[in-house]
């Protein structure tokens, strides 16, 4: 697949939208996460619309709510806006309580579109890989950065794997979910080892 100027426009706009946002623990520019998620989506058979939605998957949730959704619709079309919406756990400010948002997202995930499920798996895979790296570097204090703490974070990632596994998938998505499952397993084991050592 050859990516069009729409992808370039989405990349530039996502970089602008998230210009002041940093990753929670590492402090790296947030766009690095968006690039990795879009790359994983493309690697596993996603369309250009899926890749654009991957670049913008946090825009509604973190960068403007309903206004951001409407801007995505105007710029990139109904399909991209719908997938981004499916990837968002809220468009409200302030956000509803963490557990409430996560439960609603998990309930929706098995019936979400294939593009939204692919992006969700890619997003969580990148998050888990980053969390593993930070946990190895900083130890158990990493959990203080997460609203759900250690137990909530482990629960959520395992439940995402379960929810994604409930829906029919194509080959690329199956392989991606299997990799996410493996990485969540690594995270669970490392967290348990650190807990046992304390």
For the beta carbon of residue 94, count every other beta carbon within 10 angstroms: 6
Q: With contact defined as beta carbons under 8 Å apart, do 37 and 122 qualify?
A: yes
Q: With contact defined as beta carbons under 8 Å apart, do 128 and 187 qualify?
A: yes
Active site residue 197: no
Cα angle 87-73-53, degrees, rounded to a multiple of 5:
35
* From 58, 61, 89, 181, the catalytic residue: 61
Active site residue 62: yes
Tell me the helix, strand and coil percentages in the chain, rounded to 5: 75, 0, 25
Q: Give the span between the Cα atoms of 125 and 172, in whole angstroms.
A: 14
Tokens 């079309």, located at residue: 77
First to last CA, the chain: 50
* From 9, 48, 62, 159, the catalytic residue: 62
Which residues are within 8 A (CB) of 28 and not within 5 positions of it... i.e. 6 or more apart?
Answer: 22
Which residues are within 8 A (CB) of 13 and not within 5 positions of it... i.e. 6 or more apart?
Answer: 56, 75
User: Any idea which residues carry the catalytic annotation?
Assistant: 61-62
């Amino acid at each position: 697949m050859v990516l069009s100027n729409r992808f370039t426009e989405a990349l530039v706009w996502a970089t602008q939208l998230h210009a002041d946002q940093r990753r929670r623990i590492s402090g790296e520019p947030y766009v690095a996460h968006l690039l990795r998620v879009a790359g994983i989506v493309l690697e596993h058979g996603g369309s250009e619309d899926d890749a654009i939605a991957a670049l913008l998957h946090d825009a509604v949730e973190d960068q403007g709510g309903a206004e951001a959704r409407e801007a995505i619709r105007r710029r990139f079309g109904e399909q991209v806006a719908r997938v981004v919406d499916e990837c968002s756990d809220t468009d409200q400010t302030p956000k509803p309580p963490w557990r409430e948002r996560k439960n609603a997202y998990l309930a929706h995930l098995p019936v979400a579109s294939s593009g939204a499920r692919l992006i969700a798996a890619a997003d969580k895979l990148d998050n888990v890989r980053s969390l593993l790296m930070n946990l190895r570097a900083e130890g158990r204090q990493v959990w203080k950065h997460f609203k759900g703490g250690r137990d909530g974070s482990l629960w959520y990632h395992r439940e995402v794997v379960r929810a994604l596994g409930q829906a029919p998938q194509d080959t690329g998505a199956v392989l991606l979910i299997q990799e996410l499952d493996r990485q969540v397993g690594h995270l669970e084991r490392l967290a348990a080892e650190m807990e046992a050592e304390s």
